[in-house]
Amino acid sequence: MSVCAFCVGVGVLSSFVFRTGFALFVCPPSHTLLDLLQIGSVLVTRTHTPAYCFFFSFPECPERLVAIREKLLEWELLERCVPVTAREITEEEVLLAHSQEYLELMKSTETMSEAELRSLSDTYDSVYLHPNSYRCACLAAGSVLQLVEKVLTGELRNGLALVRPPGHHAQRNKMDGYCMFNNVGIAAQYARQKLGADRVLIVDWDVHHGQGTQYLFEDSPSVLYFSVHRYEEGNFWPHLPESNSDAVGRGRGEGYNINVPWNQAGMRDADYLSAFLHILLPVAFEFQPQLVLVAAGFDSVIGDPKGEMAASPACFAHLTHLLMSLAGGKLVLSLEGGYNLQSLAEGTCMALKALLGDPCPLLEPPHVPCSSGLRSVSQALAVHGKYWKSLRRISADLPQEGEGDAGAALPASSSPPVMETLPGPATEPARPLPRSCTGLVYDEKMTQHYNMWDSQHPELPQRVSRIFQRHGELRLTERCCRLPARLASEEELQMCHSPAYVEAVKSTATMKPRDLHRQGNQYNSIYICASSYECARLAAGSAFSAVEAVLSGKVQNAVAIVRPPGHHAESDTACGFCFFNSVSLAARYAQRLAGRPMRVLILDWDVHHGNGTQQVFYRDPNVLYISLHRHDDGNFFPGSGAADEVGSGAGEGFTVNVAWTGGLDPPMGDPEYLAAFRTVVMPIAHEFAPDVVLVSAGFDAADGHPPPLGGYKVSAKCFGYMTRQLMTVAGGALVLALEGGHDLTAICDASEVCVSALLGNELEPLPEETLQQKPNANAVRSLEKIIQVQSQYWTSVRRFAPTVGYSFLEAQRRDTEEVETVTALASLSVMTEKRQQDEPMEEEELMTQ
């Protein structure tokens, strides 16, 4: 079973298992109730009549879950999750959020006649009842509790409960808006009172305000409720003044209720992301929840006849991904509304793919929210600045309303047909991710390259064997798709190396030891044995195998545990332990497979500059080379890689050198590398928009290497973080190929975390003190120089110059324009049919029939 980023099917990290739980509570058209479907295991079914309306047709119908299930099967997502056993909620648990009198009334509906059910329904707003409604509501609420318990106890990493009836409108003493029991509200109380969670965040992105949830927690400082919903100055259902931004809670709960009310239809992805990035995330990081619950309604997806919004299905992958950074990833989504079956199914699948760790799909411009959206966000900021320190500096950084014109909301009257307007990635079945999302290539023959004269040479054969051994001990290897190693042909080697040089290296295979020693001395930092040529061909060919598996769709990403390394090898000379430039050759091989000059990003985080890689692509605009390395003004090997080395000719601007200066006083570590990724690497990577990302994954910047070999203090956790960041680029098409790194423990630790990230295991978070630490002064000067040089080529880095010296957390709070570097914001191209003014959740004429 495959695993993906952040949490997944069956993920093993050390001795812990992290999974994505999935509860599907389905009412098929046959009127057989599938009470819980859990992916990847036995299908548990119970047969009874579904909760549906026998008075007239309501949009909250069993077919909603049927449509979701069909889309999950089409996209092959079911098998990637794990099962959870269904259970009904107990009466004691219902009383966590509802009164005894209300519970007894709902129980009595099981034996009511049709006339009695109709009469009771008419006492509520937008409600229908069936004899099985109570049973279905108990199963829906109980399924959510099952997932919450398993997530909080660590058995599951996160979960998605596809349940009905929905819950967020249900109040303590009454039904409302299709809802009987407040599923998420009960779950929050259950987490607090039964499972020991002190702080719970509830995020409600349903297009309708969850007034029932707000009422439950408006006086509680332990539950932070955030809702972004359509309001239209109270003219949209539920037509309540307390749905506005000035409803902030009361008593001890004042400030813990945040409403972002949209005052027009047609709000786009940029508007939703703006609300998350400017308000929700800053407050959430300050609140520090221990669990995040999402009232996940998809009636804000484009095409929904009630919501009339223009958020793309893909937007909900991004929103889910952002929430996964909270509460250590303890996140449970519970289905609420969504009434266009296609929009509902695709939005749900996108959110689940994010939970499984799939890369977020790229969204298209415009890059700014509309003027109305800006006003809503600004109003919420003005109201809540008094309660949350993190919001007090943000309002000044919001785009001005005039800047939002390009992102104007779509008018409700200009709606093309839904099938014509849903985004391409969602209307077509997404390419299903392979069952093994991570490929791994390794061949023990590569250990046959060794130094005959110095057994303690740092480029030891044990480097690869010990890494492979570690992966096996942690059972990472068995969860990868093993890829075949192969020899690169002489013709393939000539994609980057001259025929004469290839022939010169080939000739060493038949040399005597004395001649090998003499030949090695002709190069800089090279030893040669009779097996070196074959091992170098094997390293390059293994990189080819990894790239081919990723580009063909056999795997999502891959790691090549190879040696000898390659990034110092130039077109006609060996250098720095390197013979053939494996990653450069892999880039050319990728372009050969594509049959075009595809865009390739090579990121080199080896502590030594990859002089060979830079030379190969110095004039090439289709390969972006970014290197983070110790430079010390040219005084550290190999001496190349200054910040002003930017490429030439057509390739000018496509070489980016993060050239650290200042020696080891102090050494660079996690804060410096985090700053480099935030201000330089990721902005440029997203702006370049590559088709594939290759990493020259040297681990000699890792803590544990002596000064001559690096002397830096980058942690294994930081390498995992960098890997995770790169997985958001190029649709996750990512290949890591080993370069340097000579402390065996350090390189095993770092490689383990990187492969865990590729597999989707939960990564141990970076320490709080690291996230609060500012980069050192030498690093700040280095980054300022790099941004100064590169800003003439890459617009995305210009705005980071003032924040280079910020700590990770400071930048996170300050960087209200994060959308440009984390994701390409999008708006959608369309809206649905013309809305009706003052439309209740169901047609009034139907309610009176």
Model pLDDT for residues 350-382, shown as the tens digit of each residue: 999 999 988 888 787 666 799 999 999 999 999
- pLDDT bin (cut points 50, 70, 90) of residue 393 is low
- Identified catalytic residue from 497, 568, 629, 686: 568
Mean pLDDT of 492-518: 96
- pLDDT bin (cut points 50, 70, 90) of residue 435 is very low
pLDDT above 70 covers what percent of the chain?
A: 84
Mean pLDDT of 96-120: 96
- What local confidence, expressed as pLDDT, does residue 793 receive? 96
Model pLDDT for residues 302-329, shown as the tens digit of each residue: 999 999 999 999 999 999 999 998 998 9
- Is 567 catalytic? The answer is no
- Identified catalytic residue from 98, 130, 168, 169: 169
- Is 278 catalytic? The answer is no
Encoding tokens for residue 736?
């890591």
Q: Give the per-residue SS3 of 127-173.
A: CCCCCCHHHHHHHHHHHHHHHHHHHHCCCCCEEEEECCCCCCCCCCC
> pLDDT at residue 708 above 70?
yes
* Structure-token match 């909301």, residue found: 409
Question: Smallest Cα–Cα separation from 78: which of 162, 141, 204, 177?
Answer: 162
Identify any residues that bridge with 497 across adjacent strands, giving them in sequence order: none
- pLDDT bin (cut points 50, 70, 90) of residue 597 is confident
Question: Smallest Cα–Cα separation from 371: which of 346, 402, 411, 340?
Answer: 402
CA distance 757 to 329: 14
- pLDDT bin (cut points 50, 70, 90) of residue 16 is very low
Instruction: For residue 612, report the phi and psi dihedrals to the nearest 5 degrees.
Output: -65, -45
- What local confidence, expressed as pLDDT, does residue 84 receive? 87
Residue type, 18: F
Question: Smallest Cα–Cα separation from 758: which of 471, 404, 430, 465?
Answer: 471
Task: State whether residue 92 is helix, strand or coil.
Answer: helix
- pLDDT bin (cut points 50, 70, 90) of residue 124 is very high
Task: State whether residue 176 is helix, strand or coil.
Answer: strand
CA distance 165 to 75: 25
- pLDDT bin (cut points 50, 70, 90) of residue 23 is low
Q: Which residues lie closer than 8 Å to 596 by C-beta, 6 or more apart?
A: none
* Structure-token match 């050390």, residue found: 14
> pLDDT at residue 849 above 60?
no
Question: Smallest Cα–Cα separation from 669: which of 757, 764, 778?
Answer: 778
Instruction: For residue 210, report the phi and psi dihedrals to the nearest 5 degrees.
Output: -85, 70
For the chain, the average pLDDT equals 86
- pLDDT bin (cut points 50, 70, 90) of residue 394 is low
Mean pLDDT of 35-45: 26
Model pLDDT for residues 83-93, shown as the tens digit of each residue: 787 899 999 99
Mean pLDDT of 759-788: 94
- What local confidence, expressed as pLDDT, does residue 49 receive? 35
Question: With 0-12 CB in 10 A as exposed, 13-18 as middle and 19+ as buried, what is 405?
Answer: exposed
- What local confidence, expressed as pLDDT, does residue 714 receive? 98
pTM of this structure:
0.60
- pLDDT bin (cut points 50, 70, 90) of residue 20 is low
Locate all alpha helices (DSSP H) within 176-292, ordered by sequence: 183-193, 211-217, 269-275, 281-287
Give the best-scoring range by mean pLDDT among 64-68, 403-407, 428-432, 651-655: 651-655
Model pLDDT for residues 438-478, shown as the tens digit of each residue: 999 999 999 999 999 998 899 999 999 999 999 999 999 99
> pLDDT at residue 271 above 70?
yes
